[in-house]
Amino acid sequence: MNTSPVPVAPSAGPLRPLGIDAVTIDGGFWADRQRLNAEAIIPHALKWETRVGWIPNFGYALDGTIAEHRHGREFSDSDVYKLIEAMSWEAGRTGDPGLEAEIERLGAMVEAVQREDGYVSTKFDNPGQDTRYSDFEWGHELYCFGHLIQAAVARIRTGHPDSAIVRVGLRAADHVLREFGDGAREAVCGHPEIEVALAELSRATGDARYVEQARLFVDRRGHGLLPDIEWGRSYYQDDEPYRSSTVLRGHAVRALYLTAAAVDIAVEQGDAELLDVARRQYDAALARRTYLTGGMGSHHQDEAFGEDFELPPDRSYCETCAGVGSIMVAWRLLLATGDLSYGDVIERTLYNIVAASPAEDGQAFFYANLLHRRTPAAAAPADEQVPRANSSLRAPWFEVSCCPTNVSRTLASLGGYLAAGTDDGVALVLYAPATLTVGDVRLRVETGYPYDGEVKVHVEQAPAPFALDLRIPAWAEGAAVDGSAASPGAFRVEGVAEGDVVVVNLPVGPRITRPDARIDAVRGTVAVERGPLVLCVESVDLPEGMSVNDLEVYPERGVAADGRGAVIQGRRLDRGDSGWAYGSPHEAPRGDLAIPLVPYHSWGNRGPVTMRVWLPVAD
């Protein structure tokens, strides 16, 4: 039982996570975003959840007028809970008393609505509403409980086991055990989430019944408990039993939350088979169903994974929440297997999905993360809630607004992902300016990463020599540690002592990346990356009137660093209509051109543009 403020708390495994109290990000890329989260994103989410009625719903549930007054989709309660979770991590990080009061105010509000038996919802079971558990496929009741319980776990771990939301969460969890336990109601929720929450609640409370309930839920899937729907049962991973599945499929966020739960259950119950299954599915998705940015999900319609190598950049969905879900899985697998290379996808997804979602001012978000924007989006609405389908522009709020609070809870707890304890020392997973305390060891990391590839690890305190494991990213060919070549994977420095400075050098200059030949949608193109950053071209950097659809590049002429981006040589095309787009000759290209690239995460902050990551190669 681990009650330190860790995002995830496995009770076994080769790596031991650090609490957010053990890590301070001191500056740079992620400190900027933690500050943005505290100062802009959390207040913004609180304002919007009030404005669109999701928080006020609880008041109406209390006064009995909810049927008449309710706003928001079935699952809007979950976003209130996710906001409480984000605020809990943030309060745990900074101790902000204003946040503390707000968390308790919201918790008391939820508690007032909770039934004696632990059930709580603003959508069902109140006067004039449908009865509870009348719609497992779309009702999202257990999904909401999952986020409620995650908020409770965050409060327990950050030192507030007496918080109102903890009482509510525990009552809800016990209600779930009674209602859905072995021999009771044989059902699962259309949207996985309760499973990972219950597993974590076991860890936070030491009560193994919760994780066993999570296991029951996982093993119930794939037996047709949910109805067939337009997109098939694969949409909610009810098409085949979890343990016989080989790859992530269907709705990406659902698949990832379920897999995070499977890893947790496997670890807590010592179920090696389940761990293998979860790892196999995730690894297969990484190899064949993941975008360069780490984004997952190729279909807008059902927010789902595509088939193998179906990765269209212009129709990429890459939901921000799927990025968060992927980080949840990868971090759990890293802790469970000790394989630091899972840090590669965590880093990639953090820099190119999580950091891409919020606008520079933290007041608007991408829900989907396209790799190619063919036409400029209409100017983002400054003050308007939009449907998720408009998710290819940053918007202040969505009718389904899971993404802003998912970004927020990830940023608030980000310190917990930088490193882990090993049996004989420390493993550094993410590079950022930070101070880390691992048992008796205190490290200070000094770096300008990701723009500068030098990382200095100052050993400020170490009663005895220890081993330092360093993640060397797969892209970092030519990396060195203390002047010695370090191959991608993990590099171990033995006998590190107090006063030492271990210097890691990662090649973060721009590089050209080619896609697997099986990805039809980007055949004949290249991308440019710098360290963990995917770069892109934005039309605002091209000559007046030129779209990103009108360019081709010469990768054989190389690529040069330019500020935080790069420049590649290419040409502008100018081809009119020939009446029929097949078998017709093209007009001559207009002329050569230097094409600037900027970090993908920063795109869309300079007004409506066209944008693309994959650049067509000139013949």
Q: Which is nearer to its own copies, 545 or 583 (CB)?
A: 583
Asked whether position 280 contacts its own copies by CB under 8 A, the answer is no
d(CA 395, CA 359): 9
d(CA 451, CA 210): 44
CB of 238 to its own copies, least distance (A): 16
CB 420 within 8 A of CB 335: yes
Asked whether position 309 contacts its own copies by CB under 8 A, the answer is yes
| Polymer length of the chain | 619
Asked whether position 580 contacts its own copies by CB under 8 A, the answer is yes
d(CA 535, CA 598): 5
CB of 291 to its own copies, least distance (A): 9
DSSP secondary structure, 14-55, as one string: S-EEPPTTSEEE-SHHHHHHHHHIIIIIHHHHHHHHHHTTTT
Q: Which residue has the tokens 């992620």?
A: 30
Q: Which residue has the tokens 């207009």?
A: 590
Q: Tell me which amino acid residue 589 is.
A: P
SS3 616: strand
CB 476 within 8 A of CB 506: yes
Torsion of Cα atoms, 382 then 385 then 387 then 388, to 10°? 70
Residues 445-504 that bind its own copies (CB under 8 A): 474-475
Q: Tell me which amino acid residue 95 is.
A: G
CB of 160 to its own copies, least distance (A): 40
CB 518 within 8 A of CB 309: yes
User: Of 2-10, 134-142, 442-450, 515-523, which segment contacts its own copies by CB under 8 A?
Assistant: 515-523
Asked whether position 581 contacts its own copies by CB under 8 A, the answer is yes
Hey, how many other C-beta atoms are within 10 angstroms of the C-beta on 182? 9
Q: Which is nearer to its own copies, 354 or 400 (CB)?
A: 400
Asked whether position 586 contacts its own copies by CB under 8 A, the answer is yes
For the chain, what is the radius of gyration of the CA atoms? 24
Q: Which is nearer to its own copies, 456 or 514 (CB)?
A: 514
* Helix or strand (DSSP H, E) at 286: helix 272-288
Q: Which of 233, 372, 394, 601 binds its own copies (CB under 8 A)?
A: 372
Residue 443 half-sphere exposure, CB side, CA atoms within 13 Å? 35
User: Of 46-54, 119-127, 310-318, 434-442, which segment contacts its own copies by CB under 8 A?
Assistant: 310-318
SS3 335: helix
Asked whether position 516 contacts its own copies by CB under 8 A, the answer is yes
The tokens describing 21, both together, are 């109290």
Size of the site for its own copies (CB under 8 A): 59
Q: Which is nearer to its own copies, 379 or 580 (CB)?
A: 580
Asked whether position 575 contacts its own copies by CB under 8 A, the answer is yes
CB 92 within 8 A of CB 21: yes
Q: Which of 50, 301, 461, 487 binds its own copies (CB under 8 A)?
A: 301
Asked whether position 524 contacts its own copies by CB under 8 A, the answer is yes
User: Of 103-111, 321-329, 356-364, 517-525, which segment contacts its own copies by CB under 8 A?
Assistant: 517-525
Residues 380-439 that bind its own copies (CB under 8 A): 387, 389-390
CB of 289 to its own copies, least distance (A): 9
Residue 187 half-sphere exposure, CB side, CA atoms within 13 Å? 22
Q: Which of 68, 116, 230, 383 binds its own copies (CB under 8 A)?
A: 230
CB of 513 to its own copies, least distance (A): 4
Residue 383 half-sphere exposure, CB side, CA atoms within 13 Å? 1
Phi, psi (degrees; rounded to nearest 5) at 109: -60, -45
CB of 237 to its own copies, least distance (A): 18
Asked whether position 588 contacts its own copies by CB under 8 A, the answer is no
CB 250 within 8 A of CB 234: yes
Distance, C-alpha 564 to centroid of its chain: 23
The tokens describing 27, both together, are 């500056």
Asked whether position 113 contacts its own copies by CB under 8 A, the answer is no
CB of 584 to its own copies, least distance (A): 7
Asked whether position 315 contacts its own copies by CB under 8 A, the answer is yes
Q: Which of 97, 483, 583, 591 binds its own copies (CB under 8 A)?
A: 583
CB of 261 to its own copies, least distance (A): 24
Residues 335-364 that bind its own copies (CB under 8 A): 344
Q: Which of 97, 577, 588, 591 binds its own copies (CB under 8 A)?
A: 577
Asked whether position 593 contacts its own copies by CB under 8 A, the answer is no
Q: Which is nearer to its own copies, 456 or 523 (CB)?
A: 523
Asked whether position 312 contacts its own copies by CB under 8 A, the answer is yes
d(CA 156, CA 540): 47
The tokens describing 88, both together, are 């809990």
Q: Which of 108, 284, 467, 480 binds its own copies (CB under 8 A)?
A: 284
Contact set with its own copies (CB under 8 A) = 230-231, 283-284, 286-288, 290, 292, 300-301, 307-315, 344, 372, 374-375, 387, 389-390, 474-475, 511, 513-525, 527, 549, 552, 573, 575, 577-584, 586, 614, 616
